[in-house]
Amino acid sequence: MKRKITYTNEPLGDIEVVPDFLPPPSELAFREEGVKVTLALSKKSVDFFKFEASKHQTQYQRMIRRLLDAYVEAQEERPITGRSSRTSRKRAAA
């Protein structure tokens, strides 16, 4: 910016007050409730997530959590069709 800005005292015209639509900071800091679990994953999967996380400067556990959350959201959009055949076979055998 090499040009100097010259301000004038001109009328602004019709002014409209916009209501505050932004959430308060307390809502922006919201964290979803977490549950700690112990889960055994394959070395191949963990290595993949660690490699991808390092490329994107994030934590691999966070990537896994987001993947699982995305899966759950996609499943919630699907209509419930009943039990899987795997569960039905186990109950029929019992």
Q: What's the first-to-final CA gap in the chain, in angstroms?
A: 79
Q: Examine residue 83 and state whether it is found in any structural domain, yes or no.
A: no
Q: Examine residue 91 and state whether it is found in any structural domain, yes or no.
A: no
Question: How far is it, in rounded angstroms, from Cα 65 to Cα 53?
Answer: 12
Q: Examine residue 93 and state whether it is found in any structural domain, yes or no.
A: no
Give the side-chain half-sphere CA count within 13 A for 1.
Answer: 3
Q: Examine residue 68 and state whether it is found in any structural domain, yes or no.
A: yes
Count of domains for the chain: 1
Q: What is the pLDDT along the chain (94 residues), one digit of tens a residue?
A: 678 888 888 888 888 888 888 777 777 776 788 899 999 999 999 999 999 999 999 999 999 999 998 898 888 877 766 655 555 555 556 5
Angle between helices 60-77 and 43-55 (to 10 degrees): 100
The amino acid present at 5, given as its one-letter code, is: I
Question: How far is it, in rounded angstroms, from Cα 49 to Cα 40?
Answer: 14
Domain that holds residue 73: 41-77
Q: What is the reported pTM?
A: 0.53
Q: Examine residue 9 and state whether it is found in any structural domain, yes or no.
A: no
